[in-house]
Structure formats: structure tokens, C-alpha cells
Chain A
Amino acid sequence: MIYQNSKPLLEVRGLRATVNGIEILKGIDLTVRSGEVHAIMGTNGSGKSTFAKVLAGHSAYEVTGGTVMFEGKNLFELAPEERARAGVFLAFQYPIEIPGVANNQFLRLTYNTVQAQRGKDELDPLEFDDFVREKMKMLEMSPDFLDRSVNAGFSGGEKKRNEILQMALLEPRLAILDETDSGLDIDALRIVANGVNQLATKDNAIILVTHYQRLLNYIVPDYVHVMESGRIIKTGGKQLALDLETHGYDWVSIEQRAAAGA
């Protein structure tokens, strides 16, 4: 929701980034304020995931230009784990499997790490177990997932739910959900979207990366951005997502090129 006078949480200016020497992000500008929900849409390969991973600090990507401020501080001065502790959360498009590491241990460690950073109490295994089971109910997840290895052998949809479970535990300031909707059937989509909506407050913000309008029926964005070739080429309200659904991404590109030519 757009609030009057809310503070900018994330300010991206002219962000450029390369991977293996190839420029993928070619000057991104984006401002996200507390309370807002932004959708970033775009065709496959337009750079959405790259943008998300650059914000989270993946070492494979080199930032070659521009600035990113998070809560008024230079995000690039923080190591990836420090960004996470400061409240930047990325729900991965493809959550990686970590065989041998029990999900409950992992979840408790990440929860306690972030709690400690916030000067709040850490939970012992028993307390945490109660706490996490509550959160799992909200996502209609079976407690069986606690005893399994992190993401190992989870179906695509189960992995996505496990990501949102972590979002629910960590209560980030800025959550970037990278195609959390893909791989979810319609019931799961509703459950996950419900969960995300419950987590949205006026003090945090959400960036939804998706290329389907479908998700946006459940989580209504305040802004919709269209990304192409590493740039945001158009920004609008929620209507833009519906227009894209009707006309396709080509329509924006053509419109942009026409505008540029004019």
C-alpha cells in the first residue's frame, strides 16, 4: 500500500552489473518505500533474477556502476550475510538443496542469527519448534518438513513454501520474491499469497518478480515495472500488469521504441 510520507527503503540509481564480463544490468532506477508492493515483470532473460541476486550480494555478479541505498546506507558496503541480517530477504527462484543439514536446525540458526542482530531473544530448540509449527500452519505445511534436509527432495512448490516460511520467520524489511508463483498449483498459489499478504505491513516492502499476472490477482501491487534487457522500460500501476496480459511484452517494447524514435 502507498503511504503518505513513508521513508524510502531502497533507492537504486543507475545500477549496472556484469557476470563473466557480460553486462546484464544496464542502468536500473527504482525507489521502494516502506509499505509498498512492487511487481517487476519481464520476459525470460531480461535480468530480473540478476537484479535480485545483485541486491542480495551474490559474488558471481560484479557491480560496475550506480548506487543502491538501503535504509539510507550503502548496501554494497555490506557482506551478503550482513545484508540479510539488516533485513534484505530473497526468496529464490530456484532454492538450492542442502543435503545433510536438517531444515529445523537451519531455520533455527537463521532465525536466531537475525534475532541476535535485532537485539531480541533467541529461541532454544523446543521453543523454536512451537514457534515454527505455528508459522507452518499458516502456509499449510506439514511439520514433516522440519526433519528433512533443507530443500532436499522437496517438490518445486514445497521449496517455494519453505522460502516463504523463512520470510515469515525472519520478518524482513525488504522481501524480494523471485518467481515464487512459478511451479505452484492454484491452491498453493492462494495459500502462499495469503501468507505473503499477512506479512505485509506499513514498515516493510515487497518486490514481486513474476512474469504472470496470475499472482497479482492475489497480491495486489502498488507499482508494476517492466524490465527488458537489464533496464526498467516502463512503470505503471496494477493496470499495467493486466495490459501486459492482454497485449504481451512486445507491446511495451514497441511502444518504448516508438517513444524513443519520436
Chain B
Amino acid sequence: MSAVLQNLVNQPYKHGFVTEIESDVAPKGLNEDTIRMISAKKNEPEWLLEFRLKAYQQWLTMEEPQWPNVKYPKIDFQAISYYSAPKPRKKLGSMDEVDPELLRTFEKLGVPMHERAALAGVAVDVIFDSVSVATTYKQKLAEVGIIFGSISEAVHTHPDLVKQYLGTVVPVGDNYYATLNSAVFTDGSFCFIPKGVKCPMDLSTYFRINTEASGQFERTLIIAEEGASVSYLEGCTAPRFDTNQLHAAVVELVALDNADIKYSTVQNWYAGDENGIGGIFNFVTKRGLAKGINSRISWTQVETGSAITWKYPSCVLQGDNSVGEFYSVAVTNNHQQADTGTKMIHIGKNTRSTIVSKGISAGHSNNSYRGLVRIAPTAAGARNYSQCDSMLIGDQCSASTFPYIQVRNNSAIVEHEASTSKIGEDQLFYFAQRGIGNEEAVSMIINGFCKDVFQQLPMEFAVEATKLLGFKLEGSVG
């Protein structure tokens, strides 16, 4: 390996601290009683307990998928605690009642809450370990009929809506991790934008895993009724532990006629150390149903963290003329493994989808794109454009692309482009010869490479993502 490209080191993870806070942690292990306990703690209605138990029974019959291009030791699902909540769990009336230690945590993480949320003009729902601890701007949103808050709360305040949509996009038995989530999910965000309402601000959820050996299983449900639109942001971090934590979330989006949902994620879970010890196992099922005509679902993700990422935000394009988009930057360094991509399922006529995936691998990492484009016989005039680019930094890492294309309608047009490039020593030398040092050169090359995706992010998020990438790859060239 060349001298310039040597010295692959990860910068210390900034969010690796643990908050000293008293938590109510359930004993490790999973059985029907655990599920009944979770449901009871949350004082859930009977139908939800049944939903969970049905999922659990199904999960028992399922196997962990072997097809992803990732390697990890077998997960002991009995060694995980399925419930952890910061104490005391009294009902919070306002942000001022939130444990100050928690607030400090989110301040450290740069999560806008309080006045900072006001300044940023973002409504934030904060999920700490298993429960939602705070939601800002609730009142203001309620005035235009938007419901935004934790899903466990929505179960009580809007049971019919939750019951109507929960599990309709990601069914109970969808896949191993999603089914586990259906059985044990503890909290998550719920968001409902009524007919004709354009959400006046970005909505944001911030996830934090704090307790070692606890799993985080959040469940997010976003519904945009006819003509509604919303832009939703999700951020996540976790402390640094030498053990792996499991994160198995499910996100369901439903867009009715002419509705528009834009979902952006900057994922920065702890990735493990430079030797691959510790880090989050991120097994996430995200799916949007573009149910109505002319509806649109757009996923943008910047994936930088986690020891293992297994994630395929997908769109089911059911409504005629509906649009699905997937813009992704996935960065892996050190011993990280990512198997990520999307599924675009075209069912309605003249449905269109765009996939832009940028994978960046450094260190000893392994970065795979896996994407499915399926054109159903009903999807006359469907179009898909996919572009999958990989970039390698150094020569110890790898990148793979697994495109699956299934076309069952002759009038469809499907285009796929792929490329692999490498930040080479000679490119860095060219920059250096013009006075530009390696760090700046890499950042310029990477930003150029990710431009098409970053453009899709809301402004503040784009800035954060750019910084995060620079930070992530800092020192990856010497």
C-alpha cells in the first residue's frame, strides 16, 4: 500500500459518552412475558398486545437472513434487554420538566431543543433508549391539525389512526428483524399530516441508545393524507461500548393521493473502534407506500455509523404516476460493514423511480449496494433510473454492487449505471502540487462524489453531513 494512503485511522467517536441517568431496565431475555411486560408498562390496548404476540409467534419460526454481504457473530437474543427507560417516567408537560442530565446530553450532541429548536425551526421528538422523552412544537403543529409525537402516546390519543395504518406497509411477518420489532418495539415517532396540509416546518426525531446491552426497537409511522406534504429528519448516535448493541427499527410511510413525504436520515451510530470491537448492529426496515395517485416518497440517507448496516429504504409505487426516490451516501471505514440499498416496486401506471447511491469505503471496510427494481405487469409506462457509484480509499477495503432488476411490463424503461473509482495517490499528489493538502483534497473529492445526494438534504442537514464525512474520513489518508 502506498505511503500516502497509509495511516488509516478513525477519529475518536465524538458521541461516545454515556449519560449518568437512572434507568428502568428490564431483565435480559425474550419470551411472551417480556412482551406482556412491555405492553403493560405502556398500558397498551388489547389489540396492540395481540399484534405483538402474533409477531412474536411468527418470529419464532423465522431464521436470521444469511444473504447480506456482512459477517458477524450470532446474536444472542436472550442476552438483550428489551426495555430501558430513563427514570422517572412521570408525564412531561414541557421541556423544562425533562431531566437536566438528558437535556445536557442532547445539547452535547447538538440536537436542537428548547430555543435552539425554535431558532432552527425544526420540531424535534427525542427517543432516549426505548422511550420518547420530549417533543417540541407540538402545540403549534396541532393548530394546523398535524399530530406529531411518540407512537406510544398516539396509541392512546389516536388509536384508530395507529390501528388503521400500523403494519400495513411493513407487515408483521415481513422479515426477521422487522418481525422482532413488531413484537418488542418500545417507542418511536408518529406523524400524521391531514388532508391538504403542508407541514410548516421540518419534523425531526433524534434517536439515542444509552444503555449497554439494551436493544433499541423503535417504530415510526408517518401518514400524509391527500395533498399533504412533510419533510422528516432523523438523526442517531450511541455511546461507545465494547459490546455490540442491536438496533432493529421499522419505519412505515403512507402517502395518499398527491401527498409528498421526504424522509432524510443522517445515521451516526457508534461504529466500533479501529479494530472492529463494539459498535451498533443496525438492522432496519424502512418502507414507504406511495398509495395514492401522483404521490411521492423520497428517501435520502447519509449512513456513516454502525458496525453493521443492513438497510433498504424502499418504495412501493402503487398509485398511478407515483414517484419513488432513493438518494444514499454510505461511508464505511475501519472494520465497518454495510449492505444497503433500496427496493423500488412499481405497481401503478407511469410510476417513476430514481436511485442514486454513493458508497465510500476506507480502511478494511466492506460496502455493498443491493437494490431491487421490480416492474409489475400492471406498471405500464414505468421508468427507473439507477446510478450506483463506489469510491475506494486505500486498497484494503472493498465495494460490491448487487442490482436486481425484474421487468414484467414491456413498456417500462429501466436504466442502470455503475462506476467504481479510487482516490489514488496521483490524484492527491496533483492536489498537493497545487498547494492543497491531503485532508482537503479528500474532502473535495468526496464532496464532489456525493454532490447529487447532498443536494437532496435540507440545508442544515447537508452542512452536518458534509462535516460528518470530513470527520469520519479524517486521517484516512496520511
Chain A interface (Cβ < 8 Å from any Cβ of B) = 56-60, 79-81, 84-85, 89-90, 92, 95-96, 98-102, 105-106, 109-110, 113-114, 117, 149, 166, 170
Chosen A-B contacts, 26 in total, with CB atoms closer than 8 Å, are: A58-B429, A59-B4, A59-B429, A60-B3, A79-B437, A80-B429, A81-B431, A81-B435, A84-B432, A85-B435, A90-B433, A95-B430, A96-B430, A98-B445, A99-B421, A100-B445, A101-B444, A101-B445, A102-B448, A105-B444, A106-B434, A109-B436, A113-B435, A113-B436, A117-B435, A170-B434
Complex Cα distance, B445 from A102, in Å, reads: 10
Restricting to B80-125, which residues have a CB under 8 Å from any CB of A?
Answer: none
Interface status of B163 (Cβ within 8 A of chain A): no
For B5, give the chain A residue with the smallest CB separation. A59
Question: What are the residues of chain A within 8 A of B424 when measuring CB–CB?
Answer: 96
**Chain A: CB-nearest residue to B445:** A101
Q: Chain A CB within 10 Å — which of B429, B444, B449 has the most?
A: B429
Contacts of A89 in B (CB 8 A): 433
Instruction: List, in ascending order, chain B residues with CB within 8 A of A57's CB.
Output: 432-433
Q: Which residue of A lies closest to B424 (CB)?
A: A96
B2 within 8 A of A: yes
Inter-chain CA distance A85–B2, complex, in Å, is 24
CB distance from A87 to the nearest CB of B (A): 10
Closest to A107 in B: B434
- What is the distance, in angstroms, from A160's C-beta to the closest C-beta of chain B? 14
Q: Is the interface of B mostly helix, strand, loop or mixed?
A: helix
CA distance A133 to B89 in the complex (A): 65
Give the contacts of B424-468 with A (CB-CB under 8 A): 424-427, 429-437, 440, 444-445, 448-449, 451
Chain B positions near chain A (C-beta within 8 angstroms): 2-4, 421, 424-427, 429-437, 440, 444-445, 448-449, 451
Q: Which of B435, B444, B449 contacts A84 (CB 8 A)?
A: B435
For A59, the closest partner residue in chain B by CB is B3
Most buried by A among B3, B4, B434, B449: B434
Tell me whether A101 and B432 are in contact in the complex, defined as CB-CB below 8 angstroms, given that A59-B425, A60-B2, A81-B437 are known contacts: no
Say how far A169's CB is from chain B's closest CB, in angstroms. Answer: 9
Q: Closest residue of chain B to A150, judged by CB?
A: B430
Are A92 and B430 neighbours in the complex by a CB distance under 8 Å? yes
B429 — nearest CB in chain A belongs to which residue? A58
Closest-CB distance, A75 to chain B (whole angstroms): 14
